[in-house]
Amino acid sequence: MEKSRPTGEVILQSNALVTVLLLLLSFILGLTSPDGRALPPAPGEYPITPGEGGSLGELRRDPASLRGKVIVIDPGHGGPNPGSRGVGPKPEKDNVLAVAWDLKGMLEFAGAKVIMTRDGDYSPGGPKADQLEARVQIANLSRGDVYVSIHNDWNKNSSITGTTTYFYSPDGYRLAASLQRSVVGELRSRSLGVRWASYYVLKNTAMPAALVELGFLSNKQEANLLATRSYQTKAALGIYHGLVEYFSNR
């Protein structure tokens, strides 16, 4: 005699896109994290244990703190500028754009206003513009509350892996520290720390600014991960949690 089929979930599991959407939905509803761990019961404030990126004492995380905030998301490179090509299946410009779109959805769901310096495969400001100037101009004209630039890293030593977040101004440090801690926690990547750098976009944006290098395209294993949708969504989730932490503790 044939056993009755379990309904729903078996069919859904066969469709990767549906799985990702369900994970996103369950995350948004506060049910589980993407890898299935149970999250703390209430979506409101709860303390977290400071991890990578420096000890800042007891921190709160309240997604409502994002409501009405203007977040500038800057996916690096684009158009004729692919960024790092590395050894993975996709160039940096494609990987970081996918993360940016995931992040935009999460932030808008939480009530933030999102400005993207590019939302497709083109150079910000058009082919004739200086793309770095264009990114800064878009950020400053939008009067964003924060600026987050998303990149993939490269090193001639192919064994190097890990996540680094850069800041320039003192007010960018706390943002960078929150992003680094959360992204490393979500990706379970090696933390290469929060670092100071005089990058043009960090130096010239008028709001707290940070630049996240999610991982290395020069390392085969990390390059492959950075090109997968699940890893990109986790990266977005890490940035999202970092922004929640940042705005909850100001």
CB-based closest residue to Zn ion: 151
User: Which one of 12-20, 39-47, 113-121, 149-157 is the stretch in contact with Zn ion (CB under 5 A)?
Assistant: 149-157
For tokens 């948004």, the residue is: 28
What single-letter amino acid sits at 112? A
Q: Is residue 78 helix, strand or coil? A: strand
For tokens 């940070």, the residue is: 210
User: Which one of 28-36, 57-65, 68-76, 201-209 is the stretch in contact with Zn ion (CB under 5 A)?
Assistant: 68-76
What single-letter amino acid sits at 108? E
Nearest distance in Å: CB 54, Zn ion: 24
- If binding is defined by CB under 5 A, does position 242 make contact with Zn ion? no
- If binding is defined by CB under 5 A, does position 208 make contact with Zn ion? no
* Choice between 82 and 105, CB closer to Zn ion: 82
Nearest distance in Å: CB 164, Zn ion: 12
Size of the site for Zn ion (CB under 5 A): 3
Q: Which residues are 211's β-sheet partners? A: 149, 166
User: Which one of 9-17, 77-85, 117-125, 235-243 is the stretch in contact with Zn ion (CB under 5 A)?
Assistant: 77-85
* Choice between 83 and 88, CB closer to Zn ion: 83
Nearest distance in Å: CB 138, Zn ion: 17
Nearest distance in Å: CB 108, Zn ion: 25
* Choice between 151 and 181, CB closer to Zn ion: 151
> With b meaning 16 or more CB within 10 Å and e meaning fewer, what string describes 88-110?
bebbbbbbbbbbbbbbbebbeeb
Site string for Zn ion, 81-100 (x = CB under 5 A): --x-----------------
Q: Are 196 and 168 in contact (CB under 8 A)?
A: yes
Per-residue DSSP letters for 25-74?
Answer: HHHHTTSB-TTSPBPPS-SS---B---TT---SSB---GGGGTT-EEEEE
- If binding is defined by CB under 5 A, does position 76 make contact with Zn ion? yes
Distance CA 66, CA 247 (A): 7
- If binding is defined by CB under 5 A, does position 151 make contact with Zn ion? yes
Q: How many residues does the chain have?
A: 250
- If binding is defined by CB under 5 A, does position 75 make contact with Zn ion? no
Q: Which residues contact Zn ion by CB under 5 A? A: 76, 83, 151
